[in-house]
Amino acid sequence: MSSKTMLQQALTRFFDAAKHLNIDPTILEKWEFPLETTHARLTIRMDDGSLKSFRAWRSRNDDTRGPTKGGIRYHQSVTADEVETLAFLMTIKCAVVNLPFGGGKGGVQIDPLSLSKTELERLSRRYVQIFSKVIGPNRDIPAPDVNTNAMIMAWMANEYDSIVGEVTPAVITGKPISLGGSLGRDDATARGGYYLLEYLAKDLGFTPGARVAIQGFGNAGSHIAQLLESAGHKVVAVSDSKGAIGGPTGIDIGQLSLAKERNGSVTSLAGAHGTSKIAADELVSVDCDLLVLAAMEDMVHAGNAANVKAPIILELANSPITPEADEILKNRGVVVIPDILANAGGVTVSYFEWVQNRQGYYWPIEDIHARLKTKMEEEGAAIWASAKEKNITLRSAAYVHALSRLVDAIY
Ligand code: GLU
């Protein structure tokens, strides 16, 4: 394990990319720490009448290109370093796909499964009460992330409305459709990655009927599984936080989603429909044509990168590969489609939602899909070409692409 903080590790990639551009190095200094991070305590009343307190953060990394934008995650292992790193990645991601946003991120250190629905509502409303001065439709716009969803966004938007005294849907994205959410936001992260894969398929050697392993079966993982299955690919292994299953002839994704919904884990399908349990840490080393990382950070690291058999990795999670593992994968010829491009579909449709909220006119699903597809293809093509031209990885090329946009905006 590196002794650097997670933010310092992420910055290494950024500063390395800067070497490919002729820029004043003092411009980069500001990224060594965020614009602002607020650390707060959320105290809520539990259903049994007791009081409980939780640590919470909102970090705004940089607003050079627009208001800060990024999700809020609920997870027992959330830390300030993690939130600040993910906020930094949002700055880069928004620049990669040319959205008029900087980067932000929030988190609450809590296992959401330990709360009842009413406790979860009180926690989410409390988050907005505490951070009401930080967020705002022209300042910092939250969205869903790990373990948060449209319901939570609705509670948060409603709380914000009552604090400011007016209906302000553009303060938060990923809302339910009935409350100003955008069509197509629910599967946007996966769909953006899928459009990219389809577009680059020839260059990548990603052929029909590919065998795919997916780590994580939350929003991104479950939607990409459906999209890949519909396109005729075979999902041969899937994991979630409770374990993993394999199905060499292709796992039925409809059955898998049902099993997850009913029993809380993909492992409950094991033994049926030609599937069996496999060790969760074996998922990254499954023999397949594409590995999709859709779980948490640092899942592919120096200790297991050499075992990856897939020639292509799609990073739908944020920062699932450590810099040490990047090096190992590069030397082994594994092509990594990096998070800051691969999962940018989520924030792109969040941007569409914010635009629709501000104009008060809503687009049909076909428009959302077409706009998302164009965005992923245009930015993907530019990054692919630059990686070839400079003989660098797609990740480095994506950083260079983002950095040149950021530098352009600094006067
Ligand atoms: N949480 C998502 C991400 O990491 C989406 C952020 C957003 O829509 O603002 O990209």
The secondary structure of 216-258 as a DSSP string is --SHHHHHHHHHHHHTT-EEEEEEETTEEEE-TT---HHHHHH
Cα separation of 42 and 56, whole Å?
7
How large is the C-alpha radius of gyration of the chain? 20
Pocket-forming residues, ligand 1, beta carbon under 6 Å = 69-71, 143, 145, 173, 318, 343, 346-347, 350
Distance of CA 285 to the CA centre of its chain: 22
| Cα 55 from Cα 368, distance rounded (Å) | 36
Those residues with Cβ within 8 angstroms of residue 343's Cβ, 6 or more apart along the chain or in another chain: 93, 189, 192, 193, 220, 315, 316, 317, 318
In 3D, which of 341, 402, 399, 284 has the Cα closest to residue 10? 399
Distance from residue 69's CA to the centre of ligand 1 (Å): 7
111: left (phi > 0), else alpha (psi -120 to 50), else beta? beta
Nearest to residue 213, comparing CAs of 286, 318, 121? Answer: 286
Alpha-carbon torsion, ordered 139, 144, 147, 148, to 10 deg: 80
Neighbours of 43 (CB within 10 A): 13
Residue 232 in contact with residue 263, Cβ under 8 Å?
no
Q: Which positions are annotated as active-site residues?
A: 105
Per DSSP bridges, beta strands 335-337 and 276-278 are: unpaired
Number of neighbouring beta carbons within 10 Å of residue 247: 22
Q: Which run of H or of E encompasses 372?
A: helix 365-390
Domains located in the chain, CATH noted: 32-179 (3.40.50.10860), 188-342 (3.40.50.720)
Encoded tokens for 91: 């700055």
Strand partners, 358: none
Beta strands 234-240 and 243-246 are antiparallel
Most informative mutation of 145, 315, 352 for ligand 1 (most atoms within 8 A of CB): 145
Strand 68-69 and strand 140-141: the pairing is parallel
Kindly provide the b/e burial profile for residues 50-88, where b requires at least 16 CB atoms within 10 angstroms of the residue's own CB: eebebebbbbbbbbbbbbbbbbbbbbeebebbbbbbbbb
Question: Cα-flanking dihedrals φ and ψ of residue 252, to 5°?
Answer: -75, 115
49 alpha carbon – ligand 1 mean position (Å): 34
Say how far apart CA 50 and CA 252 lie, in whole Å.
44
> 371 alpha carbon to ligand 1 midpoint, in Å?
17
The whole-angstrom separation of Cα 142 and Cα 157 is 10
What integer pLDDT is reported at residue 3 of this predicted model?
78
Backbone angles phi, psi at 90, to 5 degrees: -65, -40
For a substitution probing ligand 1, which of 65, 86, 90, 175 has the most ligand atoms within 8 Å of its CB?
90
Return the pLDDT at 25: 86
Phi–psi pair at 115, nearest 5 degrees: -105, 150
pLDDT along the chain (411 residues), means of 10: 83 92 90 96 98 98 97 98 97 98 98 96 98 98 97 98 98 98 98 98 96 97 98 98 96 97 95 94 97 97 98 98 96 98 98 98 98 98 98 97 94 75
273, exposed or middle or buried, with CB in 10 Å at 0-12, 13-18, 19+?
middle
Indicate whether this model's pTM tops 0.95: yes
How far is 276 from 272, CA to CA, in rounded Å? 8
